[in-house]
């Protein structure tokens, strides 16, 4: 059997939900929302999430333990991600800035370590929240 190059039923169900959402979803909120579709246990959701993250269809917002659909066609895999997060309304946006990604992908320090992946989270107040 070949390694799967398509989405399984559970993965598709979870992805559909995450893509419909304008904001990051928590795993147990996903679970609650897909129970009508037959996914009963946390593990079914986490397995789907793991795979979707691995192939870059979704990303995990580490500081929030939440998941968003990738809005960036470059993200074949989740190995170079950057997000802006509003600390007031929790709105999250994936940053798609080629200068930034180039800068970070080429970043080297004197540790002798070669980085193959990074995740960057910016925090602040979004336009709306700033004007309140």
Partner DNA sequence: TTACACAATGTTATAATATAACAAATTATT
Partner DNA sequence: AATAATTTGTTATATTATAACATTGTGTAA
Residues forming contacts to DNA in the complex (CB under 7 A) are 1-4, 8-11, 26-29, 38-44, 46-48, 50, 65
CB of 124 to its own copies, least distance (A): 4
Using the structure block, give the residue that is written with the tokens 């192939």. 55
User: What backbone phi and psi angles, to 5 degrees, belong to 84?
Assistant: -110, 135
- Considering the complex, state which of residue 13 and residue 85 has its C-beta at the smaller distance from Zn ion: 85
**What whole-number distance in Å separates Cα of residue 91 and Cα of residue 100?**
21
Binder of residue 88, out of Zn ion, DNA, its own copies, none (CB less than 5 to 8 A by kind): Zn ion
CB of 121 to its own copies, least distance (A): 5
* Residue ranges in contact with its own copies by CB under 8 A: 62-63, 84, 86-87, 93, 95, 97, 100, 103-104, 107, 109, 111-127, 130
- Considering the complex, state which of residue 35 and residue 105 has its C-beta at the smaller distance from its own copies: 105
Residues paired with residue 58 on neighbouring β-strands, in sequence order: 69
What DSSP element (H or E) covers 55? none
* Residue ranges in contact with Zn ion by CB under 5 A: 70, 72, 75, 86, 88-89, 91, 126, 129
Intra-chain end-to-end CA distance of the chain, in Å = 57
**What whole-number distance in Å separates Cα of residue 51 and Cα of residue 73?**
17
């Amino acid at each position: 059997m070949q390694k799967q190059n398509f989405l399984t039923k559970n993965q598709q169900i979870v992805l559909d939900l995450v893509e419909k959402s304008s904001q990051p979803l928590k795993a147990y909120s996903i679970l609650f929302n897909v129970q009508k579709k037959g996914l009963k246990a946390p593990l079914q959701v986490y397995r789907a999430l793991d795979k979707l993250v691995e192939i870059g269809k979704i990303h995990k917002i580490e500081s929030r333990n939440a998941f968003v659909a990738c809005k960036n066609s470059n993200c074949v895999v989740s190995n170079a991600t950057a997000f802006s997060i509003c600390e007031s309304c929790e709105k999250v946006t994936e940053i798609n800035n080629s200068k930034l990604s180039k800068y970070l992908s080429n970043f080297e320090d004197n540790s002798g370590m070669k980085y193959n992946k990074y995740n960057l989270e910016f925090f602040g107040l979004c336009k709306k929240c700033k004007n309140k």
